[in-house]
Amino acid sequence: MSGRKVLILLGSPRKAGNSAILAGRLAEGARSVGSEVDRFYLHDLDINPCTACEGCHREGSRGCVVDDDMQPIYGKLADADSIVFATPVYWFSVTAQIKTVIDRLYAVGVGDDNILAGKNLGILMVYADSDPFTSGAVNALRMFQDISGYLGTEIVGMVYGTAAGAGQIEGNEQLLEDAFRLGVKLGGG
Ligand SMILES: Cc1cc2nc3c(=O)[nH]c(=O)nc-3n(C[C@H](O)[C@H](O)[C@H](O)COP(=O)(O)O)c2cc1C
């Protein structure tokens, strides 16, 4: 048992959608090497936008002062060895659910308050367009690269591809296999 912890943040409103299916495969891969996997379906949670109150960066502050469902996720982020963002492309970027969580990382990813440095990241992304550029996936992947560079994390892998209707990704065995393998990498250290 590696005992490594993998945290998956699900950004689609579709519980059984394509990104959730990829995330399921990644979780299987991580568990196959003894990892503990936690998944949060963000759409069901009460997570509010960052208010830029700066309460998180005040002297003696104990993190984000917004009391909502982001609080347990902060604890899981601190414990995790690997963090996975699973999202469809919405309007040439990530979903609002994912972006809201990213904004809330302001409390734990900046300067002396950065608890994320050194962790591993995994990115899972799906889009309806046949091309990663015209779909907007490349914008979102680049955003994750910039975020990772800023945080001092390492992107271990990005698995992305085309699917439209919920579940269509099941027909892409290669992508599912890639997601499983990324889970093995993230889970096995
Ligand atoms: C509001 C909305 C915006 C979308 N924007 C894009 C887009 O910009 N580019 C694209 O290729 N697909 C876009 N799509 C299609 C989804 O990315 C695609 O259906 C994906 O497979 C959904 O993943 P899911 O099943 O995990 O929700 C959009 C879908 C919705 C509902």
**Closest by alpha carbon to 19, among 39, 35, 44?**
39
Q: Whose CA is nearest to atom 17 of ligand 1?
A: 127
Rounded Cα gap, residues 103 and 140, in angstroms: 14
Which CATH number is 168's domain given? 3.40.50.360
Extract the tokens encoding 72: 């347990």
Is 99 touching ligand 1 by the criterion CB < 6 Å?
A: no
pTM above 0.75, yes or no: yes
pLDDT tens, the chain, 189 aa long: 457 999 999 999 999 999 999 999 999 999 999 999 999 999 999 999 999 999 999 988 889 999 999 999 999 999 999 999 999 999 999 999 999 999 999 999 998 889 999 999 999 999 999 999 999 999 999 999 999 999 999 999 999 999 999 999 999 999 999 999 999 999 996
Pairwise CA distance, residues 151 & 165, whole Å: 34
- Which of 123, 127, 169 for mutating ligand 1's site (highest number of atoms within 8 Å of CB)? 127
CA distances from 30 to 22, 44, 136 (A): 12, 24, 28
Residue 85 β-bridge partners: 9, 123
Q: In which domain, by residue range, is 75 found?
A: 5-188
The reply to whether ligand 1 has any atom less than 6 angstroms from the CB of 136 is yes
115 C-alpha vs ligand 1 centroid, how far in Å? 31
Number of domains in the chain: 1
